[in-house]
Structure 1
């Protein structure tokens, strides 16, 4: 099972080119799509989910032409957008039953069994009678996954799913997505490097509508291994260091700015070698397109 995207482009009516000749091969399993806000991730996800058209290019899912045969795609798609609406006064059980009915599961007994199975899977069964408006952020996201799983989809898209979740809810969500990704294509669109590092066996980095890198996380790490150096500096010296070195990221720690630079050789001047992290891979590519980001 594979999703193939070839030469996909999209320009909005205001002149913003959201996608520039995007090509990706996405196999079964967890696939991380990393990029800053405004990189084109949501545009790509919405296009795959048949919610908007592309200007050019193609998308195929196991022989299905995604851009032309939208109904066939929707029958095997689960989608959790970044912002999805809930009816706050309806409980989870009733809402999920309604969604299952809309997806063509007409038998009432079959729907009941499916709703119970899905609510148990996302650990919401004990809260099935609670109004959705009373759910925490993590519970809302888990309900979102439950509705995305109705109909046993072959492709699941989740857009910025862990933003705003506390650490315990994030871990629950990680575990749930990992289970789902064993037998399904799951595209995880996020700007949080930790999400991809924790979950994904394949990834891509996108910025300003262009794919900058795709492959396995360990391949990206191999590219920057031995090339990352760090040093603590005063914040007032940052501009000077940016002029002298290839600064890829900065982080404020206890009042000092921890600087990470990429270099073929040891830069000296107090810089020390640092173990490469996936975050370095991300910033190495992103910094070639935009100014280094302080995190």
Structure 2
């Protein structure tokens, strides 16, 4: 099973071109779509989820024309948007039962079993009678996954799912997504490199509506292997270093600015070679499109 996006473009009425000839092949498993805020990730996810039209291009999945046969897509789709509304006074069990009914599970006994199973799966069963408005951010996200899983979808889209979660909730969410991704296409749209590094066997980097890289995290690391160097500098020196080197990222540590650069040859000047990380891959591509200081 594959989702094939071919030459997809989208320009909004205000003139912003959100997608520029985007082509991606997304296989079964966890696929990370990595990019900064405003890169076009949400536009792409909403288009795949049949919530908006594209100007040109095509999307197909197992013979389904996603842009034309919307109902067929929605029958096999689970979607967790970046911001999803909840009825705060309704409890999780009642809400999930309602969603299951809307998804075509008409038999009351079957629906009860599905709701119970999903609540157990996302570790919310003991909290099933609590109003959704009382849920923490992590609990809300887990409920969001539960509603996305109603009907055993073959395509699941999750948009910025770990933003705002504390480390323990993030780990719970990682485990849940990893389990789901074993037999499903799961597209994880995020600007958090750790999410992709932890979960995804395939990935793409997108910025300003363009796909800059697609492959495995290992493929990405191979592109910058042996090219990453770091050095601690004073903040006042940054502008000069940016003129002299390809700075891909900076981080303030104990009052000193840790500078990471990409160079095909040893740059000297006190820079030390350092093992490449997936974050370096991300910044290497993004810094060619966006000022690294503003990323």
- TM-score tier by shorter-chain length is over 0.9
Corresponding residue SS for 1:45 = helix
Corresponding residue SS for 2:143 = helix
Show the counterpart of 2:266: 266
Q: 1:90-239 residue pairs with structure 2 within 5 A?
A: 90-239=90-239
> How far, CA to CA, are the matches of 1:134 and 1:160 in structure 2?
21
Q: Residue deviations 1:120-171, cap 9 Å, x none?
A: 0000000000000000000000000000000000000000000000000000
- Kept in 2: contact 1:206–1:212 (CA 8 A): yes
Show the counterpart of 2:285: 285
Show the counterpart of 2:249: 249
TM-score between both structures, scaled by the size of structure 1: 0.99
> How far, CA to CA, are the matches of 2:16 and 2:24 in structure 1?
21
Q: Residue deviations 1:32-69, cap 9 Å, x none?
A: 00000000000000000000000000000111000000
How many residue pairs were aligned?
Answer: 295
Corresponding residue SS for 2:68 = coil
Provide structure 1 residue ranges, at least 5 long, that are not aligned to the other structure.
none
Show the counterpart of 2:15: 15
> How far, CA to CA, are the matches of 1:51 and 1:255 in structure 2?
46
Corresponding residue SS for 1:25 = strand
What RMSD over aligned residues (CA atoms) do the two structures have, in Å? 0.6
> How far, CA to CA, are the matches of 1:129 and 1:172 in structure 2?
21
Corresponding residue SS for 2:129 = coil
> How far, CA to CA, are the matches of 1:75 and 1:149 in structure 2?
11
> How far, CA to CA, are the matches of 1:293 and 1:93 in structure 2?
46
Query: Cα distance, 1:218 vs. partner?
Result: 0.4
Which stretches of structure 1, 4 residues or longer, exceed 3 Å deviation after superposition? Answer: none
> How far, CA to CA, are the matches of 1:225 and 1:293 in structure 2?
23
Query: Cα distance, 1:181 vs. partner?
Result: 0.1
> How far, CA to CA, are the matches of 2:223 and 2:13 in structure 1?
38
- Kept in 2: contact 1:250–1:294 (CA 8 A): no
- Kept in 2: contact 1:249–1:292 (CA 8 A): yes
Query: Cα distance, 1:294 vs. partner?
Result: 6.1
Corresponding residue SS for 1:32 = strand
Query: Cα distance, 1:293 vs. partner?
Result: 3.3
Show the counterpart of 1:36: 36
